[in-house]
Amino acid sequence: MGLKQAVIRGGLESLYFTGAHLALKPLCGGVGAILTFHHVRPPRPDRFQPNHLLEITPRFLTRVVKLLRRSRVDVVSLDEMHRRLTEGDFKRRFVCLTFDDGYRDTLKYAYPILKAAEMPFAVYVATSFADRLGELWWLALEAVIARNSRVGLVIDGKNRAFDCGSLAEKQALYEELYWWLRRRPNDTELRDVARNLAACYSVDIGAFCRDQCMDWPEIAQLAADPLVTIGAHSVNHLTLAKLSDKAARAEIDLSRSVIEAALGTRPQHLSYPFGDPASAGPREFAIAADLGFKTAVTTRPGVIFRSHAGQLTALPRISLNGDYQHLRYVRVLLSGSATAIWNGFRRLEAAA
Ligand SMILES: [Zn+2]
């Protein structure tokens, strides 16, 4: 099947190929790459899925695994990546697989696939999620908008009401409110607004954490496998860059201690919550280095180069999430400008 036909299959299928492009990027540059995953689970029928960017299907993960197996790359643990970077061992390209947040579907769907392939991977755990205290506010926002055709809230001191009966209205409203919340000067305000909104519309904000995140026994099950590295992802999943020096440091340091107390192993690797430049910058990179983490990852997109040996707590990653905005990469592919990726694309087709 040609690439064009594949892409016009539309919907979820085209997202697979979006991911395929990203999967192939590490083969084309640098000494290696770290891939980011959030949810791995079967597709859901709901039309309104604004957080779909955070999930791929088990089927797609299986295809990525097959692709990696056929490629001339080593899938390695974070410790091994650290060794290669610090010792300058770049004989073969490497790929690290990383899962953020500690979702239950990492254990249920991703783990069996990676275990069968004997591929190491890392899970960065936000400890409040495992402690059942996490507020997955972005899912609460999604639920409020999904279940109502009109939503009211106070924005900048004014009562505002939004129609959200149609799918297009829901999508537009989610985008607007999500980014308005993310732009709040601090996460206290963000959480207050989200909590109030959820309460007003009878959405149980705590349920998302209980339903979707692993508890400690589940994390321990993963941690018992030598293939798995458990990393830290802060306590409360806040925008670290908006916190005071002391609070940002405590979020990182405390999460490491909580994981050590729960699992008996002290995490050596960190993932910054959100991980974009507005959430983690030079101050956070310095804190992670000062606290002695071997590596720390952002969500800034990119592959790993030799020079990253000098900035081990500010590593870029490549997201394999089903993010619609990445469809632009597919368009780049279709322009024919990325021949190497095109070739890799065909390999993925063959592997499917
Ligand atoms: Zn996260």
Name the burial class of residue 312, with classes exposed (0-12), middle (13-18) and buried (19+) by CB atoms within 10 angstroms of its CB: buried
Q: How far is the CA of 274 from the centre of ligand 1 (A)?
A: 6
- Reply yes or no on whether the pLDDT at 301 is more than 90: no
Q: How far is the CA of 291 from the centre of ligand 1 (A)?
A: 20
At 7, list the tokens: 């892409």
Residue 39 has a pLDDT of 93
Q: How far is the CA of 337 from the centre of ligand 1 (A)?
A: 33
> How far is CA 284 from its chain centroid?
18
Q: How far is the CA of 65 from the centre of ligand 1 (A)?
A: 23
Q: How far is the CA of 219 from the centre of ligand 1 (A)?
A: 16
Q: How far is the CA of 38 from the centre of ligand 1 (A)?
A: 8
Name the burial class of residue 187, with classes exposed (0-12), middle (13-18) and buried (19+) by CB atoms within 10 angstroms of its CB: buried
Q: How far is the CA of 271 from the centre of ligand 1 (A)?
A: 8
Q: How far is the CA of 340 from the centre of ligand 1 (A)?
A: 31
Bin 181: left if φ > 0, else alpha if -120 < ψ < 50, else beta. Answer: alpha
Q: How far is the CA of 230 from the centre of ligand 1 (A)?
A: 14
Residue 349 has a pLDDT of 32
Following CA atoms 292, 297, 302, 308 in sequence, which dihedral angle do they give, to the nearest 10 degrees?
Answer: 0
Report, as an integer, the average pLDDT of 264-275: 96
Measured from the Cβ of residue 301, the count of other Cβ atoms closer than 10 Å reads 14
Cα-trace Rg, the chain:
20
Query: What tens digit of pLDDT does each residue of 157-168 get?
Result: 888 999 999 999
Average pLDDT of the chain, as a whole number: 84
Residue 23 has a pLDDT of 52
Q: How far is the CA of 103 from the centre of ligand 1 (A)?
A: 10
Q: How far is the CA of 99 from the centre of ligand 1 (A)?
A: 9
Q: β-strands 150-155, 93-101: how paired?
A: unpaired
Report, as an integer, the average pLDDT of 117-133: 97
Q: How far is the CA of 273 from the centre of ligand 1 (A)?
A: 5
Place of tokens 């999508």: 171
Place of tokens 């368009």: 331
- Reply yes or no on whether the pLDDT at 207 is more than 90: yes
Residue 227 CA to residue 77 CA, distance in Å, equals 8
Q: How far is the CA of 3 from the centre of ligand 1 (A)?
A: 32
Among 34-38, 155-159, 280-284, 326-330, which is the least confidently predicted range?
A: 326-330
Q: How far is the CA of 5 from the centre of ligand 1 (A)?
A: 34
In percent, the amount of the chain with pLDDT more than 90 equals 62
